[in-house]
Amino acid sequence: MGKRVLVIEDEANISEAIRYILSKDGWEVDTHADGADAAARVSAAPPDLLILDVMLPGRSGYDILDALRAAEATRALPVLMLTAKGQTADRERAARHGATRFMTKPFANADLVAAARAMMAPT
């Protein structure tokens, strides 16, 4: 596949699980755990796909997504929001902020791979 994904997740066990799952599927996976400088990290080297946790230290995933959508270079970046909160209001909030997809934790490995592949499929 040869696609690059950046996972911004502060729970090490979750980011490492995602790294393992997507690496097995052929992805190059980088991780980052701090919300405070996450938008700068993405902007410095935009990945093909971003997996972004909602609740991060330093800055929320929604704030990060707002910053990314405001910048020309990252406006169209596919973003999968990942959160333990899966209510309808949470999904709607993610959509309002510009998330491409929304997934709740815990997630099935196959669902994560399918979502990543679908987000990279040509339209």
**CA triple 98-108-75, angle to 5 deg:** 15
Residue ranges of the chain with pLDDT lower than 50? 1
Q: What are phi and psi of 55, to 5 degrees?
A: -100, 105
If one counts the domains in the chain, the total is: 1
Q: Which residues contact 3 (CB under 8 A, 6 or more apart)?
A: 26, 27, 28, 48, 49, 116, 120
Cα separations (Å) of 36 from 7, 40, 103? Answer: 15, 9, 22
Say what the pLDDT of residue 36 is.
Answer: 97
Query: Using the 8-state DSSP alphabet, how is residue 37 labeled?
Result: T
Question: Cα(92)–Cα(106) distance, rounded to whole angstroms?
Answer: 19
Residues forming a β-bridge with 51: 7, 80
Return the SS3 of 104: strand
Q: What CATH number is associated with residue 73?
A: 3.40.50.2300
Q: What residue numbers bound the domain in which 47 lies?
A: 4-120
